[in-house]
Amino acid sequence: MARKRASEPATITTTKEVTVSTNKETKPPPPPPQETSNDQPIAPPKKGFIFKLSLLLIAPYFYLLFFHYQIQHDLIKPILINAGLSLAGFFLTVKMIPVASKYVLKRNLFGYDINKKGTPQGTVKVPESLGIVVAVVFMVLTIVFQFFNFAPDSNWLVEYNAALASICFMTLLGFIDDVLDVPWRVKLLLPSIAAFPLLMAYAGHTTIIIPKPLVSYIGLKVLDLGFIYKIYMWFLAIFCTNCINIHAGINGLEVGQTVVIASAILIHNVMQIGVSADPEYQQAHAFSMYLVQPLLATSLALLSYNWYPSSVFVGDTYTYFAGMTLVVVGILGHFSETLMIFFLAQVLNFLLSVPQLFGFRHCPRHRLPRFDPQTGLLTGTNDGTLVNFYLRMFGRKTENSLCVHLLLVQGLDFTVPCFSQFQ
């Protein structure tokens, strides 16, 4: 997110009484300053935009679920219960974000939108770390869902709770990062710690299914990695959690890419359930949907406030939370190799960032495009990010237009694994 953190510590403002003696007359003290910044409500959610986006992303999912495939009632029932809880989570998140915004502003957790510097919007205090609301609502929804679906002796319950532990751990570390602003080298280590509960509890197979477009090149449909698979999962957690955090810089990009990836995963899961006759394989993908649906619903609620012009910042809390959730979904759903196809835009952004991240080139604190307050356009700089690369390739754009273009590029990532199922 294009932001500049507040540097001033939390203070208590007091008004000193000032007296001026003129001809033995004492003037009354000036009135105390009005504290309005923390009491002003944030801009209302962009409901119309979110409604249209939801129809665009979710309509194909429900078409496949109810009409295209003949899916067993035993699988559809918990999916619909989970969808109902997710819908409730959407409205709860929409209501909670303005409330939480007041509290974080009181604790001086705010930032300034750098991409609006030189305009009136660039001087507005934008509440920071609102991803904590999404994470808390998500955790509540997924814990409540256990009551409707998992029996106490369910084989999936251990991995489900391990997944929630990793997500909760990563959310905590992300919020600590927002408060303490730890160096990026330390940030690389945070997901490796949060992934331990998942890695210790994982008892599934150690094979990966090769995506259909790659089978002809590799010569195998299934590859057994053995113990290397857990090492692979560990590195996958580190990469995916950080890659959403570094593919940022404009309003709506962090949440937007998560929404697009989550929608792609839902469609992929339904397609895998529809074409498979293996009950365990179907259950693995249904398990993935139990976590993705709440993630998508709560993220859409956050996007209604974070879309341009953003009235809240999501913070590292959200990017770490979303990244870990997507990693958990891919690993426990047994499609971690396909997950990397959904992350192609993030992989490209990482490759562009390598020279600066590893010290081969100077790495400024904010690798953002240059904003022209006269025209409202962004110009790409020489920093190694996909945002700047896209601007250098296709010319200057407004912040809103640039975000839409980048999300369309993100959406192209899942056309290969999705359409390959129809071949």
d(CA 102, CA 308): 20
**Picking from 24-28, 37-41, 100-104, 245-249, which range would have the lowest pLDDT averaged per residue?**
24-28
Closest CA to 258 of 128, 411, 86, 133: 411
User: Is the Cβ–Cβ distance between 105 and 127 less than 8 Å?
Assistant: yes
Tell me what pLDDT residue 215 has. Answer: 79
Digit-coded pLDDT (tens) for 301-324: 999 999 999 999 999 999 999 999
In sequence order, the 6+-apart residues with CB closer than 8 A to the CB of 102 are 38, 39
In sequence order, the 6+-apart residues with CB closer than 8 A to the CB of 13 are 33, 35
* Cis peptide bond N-terminal to 309, omega within 30: yes
Digit-coded pLDDT (tens) for 178-234: 988 887 777 777 888 889 888 888 877 787 777 777 778 878 888 888 888 888 889
Give mean pLDDT, residues 154-172.
89
Strands (E), 192-329: 207-209, 222-224
| Phi, psi torsion values for 236, nearest 5 degrees | -65, -40
Give mean pLDDT, residues 89-113.
95
> pLDDT averaged over the chain?
86
Other beta carbons within 10 angstroms of residue 49's beta carbon come to 14
**Picking from 242-246, 252-256, 339-343, 362-366, which range would have the lowest pLDDT averaged per residue?**
362-366
Q: How confident is the model at residue 8 (pLDDT cuts 50, 70, 90)?
A: very low
d(CA 265, CA 329): 9
Tell me what pLDDT residue 165 has. Answer: 94
d(CA 353, CA 244): 13
Bigger pLDDT: 281 vs 421: 281
- pLDDT > 50? residue 36: no
Tell me what pLDDT residue 16 has. Answer: 39
- pLDDT > 90? residue 259: yes
**Picking from 33-47, 97-111, 151-165, 243-257, which range would have the lowest pLDDT averaged per residue?**
33-47
- pLDDT > 50? residue 109: yes
- pLDDT > 50? residue 93: yes
